[in-house]
């Protein structure tokens, strides 16, 4: 399969490069998502069998003051990619987020539930979903959550950095979701891209790690696996204000993905062990 990936240095793109080294990876220098026309042109030039968009504006708080710029990257660019894919008959796998939901309730969100983003980042990602859906391209929108890996900026690396110097950390305990290893997302994207190329139906799906947990419990498991003696104090979201509101309920129902593509939710604790092992060996 001739695979074209948007993204080169992000968490999922780095993991895709490990499992699909034969793919063509486009970084900002080859296809800047701030230039949607360039993204479409790249697809027409490479004429791939399938496209994975693993690039995005992920600075959640900064999007609150730079929403127009985030909208260009998270909505206009994926829309242009999808239109180019429709022109060529190439399927598209587009990664989205749990932040398209408002975080209410305690029940896992299903793909068909009504989105209601509560921050700018979520609004731009939802706009990207709408653009992909409207393009006519065969596609899968893959919503995921709490991504972590040995690369880039993420919760695990932040906790390990802070835990190296502190004996106590206060961590939010009332936000519940599924930490998701970037390596698992990469594997899911490859499986989906192959299935779409072979004629599988597309749509919107959820993919997140299991079991559900809080940020505070995620931190505790991180310290335990890393062998760091750090106490974690539970705090409420209200005690840790950020420019962008975070959803309290980030649970994602992944049953449809399992039924349609045979992809099971990964155990994030196993993924965490692999990441910590990689970081220790670096």
With CA atoms as reference, report the closest residue to 180 among 145, 213, 223, 154: 145
Q: For residue 177, what is the enclosing H or E element?
A: strand 176-177
Distance from C-alpha of 133 to C-alpha of 111, rounded to nearest angstrom? 13
Cβ atoms of 45 and 38 within 8 Å: the answer is: no
**Phi, psi dihedral angles at 16 (to 5 degrees):** -65, -35
Cβ atoms of 11 and 152 within 8 Å: the answer is: yes
Which residues are known to be catalytic?
121
Distance from C-alpha of 278 to C-alpha of 149, rounded to nearest angstrom? 9
Distance from C-alpha of 240 to C-alpha of 172, rounded to nearest angstrom? 7
């Amino acid at each position: 399969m001739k695979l074209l990936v948007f993204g080169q240095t992000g968490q999922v793109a780095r993991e895709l490069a490990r499992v699909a080294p034969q793919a063509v990876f486009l970084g900002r220098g080859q296809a800047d998502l701030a230039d949607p026309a360039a993204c479409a042109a790249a697809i027409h030039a490479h004429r791939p069998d399938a496209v994975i968009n693993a690039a995005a504006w992920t600075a959640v708080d900064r999007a609150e003051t730079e929403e127009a710029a985030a909208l260009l990257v998270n909505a206009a660019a994926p829309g242009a990619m999808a239109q180019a894919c429709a022109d060529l008959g190439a399927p598209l796998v587009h990664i989205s987020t749990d932040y398209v939901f408002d975080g209410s309730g305690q029940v896992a969100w299903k793909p068909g539930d009504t989105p209601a983003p509560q921050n700018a980042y979520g609004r731009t990602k939802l706009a990207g979903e709408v653009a992909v859906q409207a393009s006519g391209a065969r596609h899968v929108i893959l919503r995921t959550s709490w991504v972590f890996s040995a690369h880039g900026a993420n919760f695990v690396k932040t906790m390990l950095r802070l835990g190296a110097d502190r004996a106590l950390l206060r961590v939010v305990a009332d936000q519940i979701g599924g930490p998701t290893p970037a390596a698992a997302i990469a594997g899911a994207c490859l499986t989906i891209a192959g299935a779409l190329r072979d004629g599988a139906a597309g749509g919107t799906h959820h993919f997140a790690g299991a079991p559900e947990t809080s940020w505070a419990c995620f931190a505790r498991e991180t310290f335990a696996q890393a062998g760091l003696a750090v106490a974690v104090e539970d705090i409420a979201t209200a005690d840790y204000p950020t420019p962008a509101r975070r959803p309290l309920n980030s649970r994602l129902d992944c049953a449809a993905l399992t039924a349609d593509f045979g992809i099971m939710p990964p155990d994030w604790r196993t993924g965490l062990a692999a990441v910590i092992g990689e970081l220790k060996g670096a």
